[in-house]
Amino acid sequence: ECLATNPFFSNGSCLMTINFGDQFKVSAQLTANNSNRRQLNGSILGISRLPGSLEVLNRTTGMLVTCTNATCPHAQLVRLANGSQAWANFAPFSAFGGWMGMVNARSSQDYQSRAFKFFSYISKPDNSIDDVLDLTSGIDPYRSSHLQPSAENLARWTSSGYDADATLAYLQVISEDLGYDNVVLDIRLQSMANVTRTVLAAVADNTTWGNQPIDELLLWGQAAMESELNHSGANPRELQLQYWQLIGDSPGDGKGPRQDQKQGERLNNGAIIDNVSTRGGFKGTLGLAVLIPLGTVLLAVVVGLLVWRRVTGHRSLLYGAVKAPMAGPQTTLLITDIQ
């Protein structure tokens, strides 16, 4: 189970953990007050970036190869436990995306302006630092001012009960990771949240606690991911193009499918191009090209009239009756009770 804090690490029975910033907050406060906790008495809280890898995936062959200056342009020379040196590739993971504030675009300009001012107010340095320091907020440092190693900023942390040395290490690690050339962001694709939570979490649990062979786990994970995507209603082709864009790839650079590739043509990696229009695919479509726009125009007129009627009714139902502002995607803020 993925928790914001690891209880085994917090009570001193676990040596290390990989977790969200919530874990640091709890641990740094326990470290600052470790004289009252026997299991943490005299302990030192260490903070480090995520570990790197001595190997990297060759996307052409699908095989792992040893890191060198050529294969891993972002690698760093590290000293191993046996005293030898090796190139390690680091890809700091900026997990869980972040928090956002939104307002309905169909709201009045005055309402949008007020909402913007509210978001601006709570994210100002002197206001937002209180949320960051709050042990229960779930909000990590997100402004450069939050990450400054200055005496003034550190004093804010220590006055809130955090260990000074651990806090300084924490802020430095985050700053280095955010400025790293090879930093990795969340996969912002449709249905990816379900894939990562249901598939990767299960694979990680089996790898950690089970004895199932790695090859079998990988095959199971691949099948589970394909099943999740197939039942999500997402267009595989669109997901593929979006994924290439996220990793800095594109169909025109030789790594992805070319724009002139024909439908059904097999790529080097075995994938088959689908839903791609070709010059020959437009033959015999003139009649549809004329009828569809006419039907679309008529439909657009009808929809436009209904939308106009709904808007003039001020958040009304389709035929003008006033609709209560229930919780949903069209509701930005709902006040249910005033004491």
Predicted confidence (pLDDT) per residue in 114-138, tens digit: 999 999 999 999 999 999 999 888 8
Whether residue 54 is predicted with pLDDT greater than 90 in this model: the reply is yes
CA distance 321 to 317: 5
At 304-329, the pLDDT tens digits run: 555 555 555 444 444 444 455 555 55
In this prediction, residues 167-188 reach a mean pLDDT of: 88
Q: Per-residue pLDDT averaged across 2-12, rounded?
A: 78
Neighbours of 11 (CB within 10 A): 12
Residue 27 has pLDDT above 50, yes or no: yes
DSSP strand pairing (93-94 vs 184-185): parallel
Q: Which residue has the higher pLDDT, 167 or 36?
A: 167
Taking each helix axis from N to C end, the angle separating 151-159 and 164-178, rounded to the nearest 10 degrees, works out to 120
CB 107 within 8 A of CB 94: no
- Counting residues of the chain whose pLDDT is more than 70, the rounded percentage is 68
pLDDT for residue 153 is more than 90: yes
Amino acid at 212: Q
pLDDT, residue 330, reads 56
Are residues 90 and 77 in contact, defined by beta-carbon separation less than 8 angstroms?
A: no
Please tell me whether residue 85 adopts helix, strand or coil conformation. strand
pLDDT over 80 at 170, yes or no? yes
Per-residue model confidence (pLDDT) at position 72: 92
Q: What is the pLDDT of residue 213?
A: 80
Q: How many CB atoms lie within 10 A of CB 183?
A: 15
| Contact yes or no for 217/203 (Cβ under 8 A) | yes
> Which pLDDT belongs to residue 84?
94
Residue 16 reports pLDDT greater than 60: yes
Separation of alpha carbons 14 and 56, rounded Å: 29
Q: What is the pLDDT of residues 278-288, one digit of tens each?
A: 333 333 333 33
Highest mean pLDDT among 58-72, 89-103, 209-223, 253-267: 58-72
Query: Mean pLDDT over residues 210-232, rounded?
Result: 79
Beta strand 93-94 with 63-66: parallel, antiparallel or unpaired?
unpaired
Return the pLDDT at 255. Answer: 46
- Averaged over 190-197, what is the pLDDT? 72
Q: Do 218 and 62 form a contact (C-beta atoms < 8 A)?
A: no
On average, the pLDDT of the chain sits at: 73
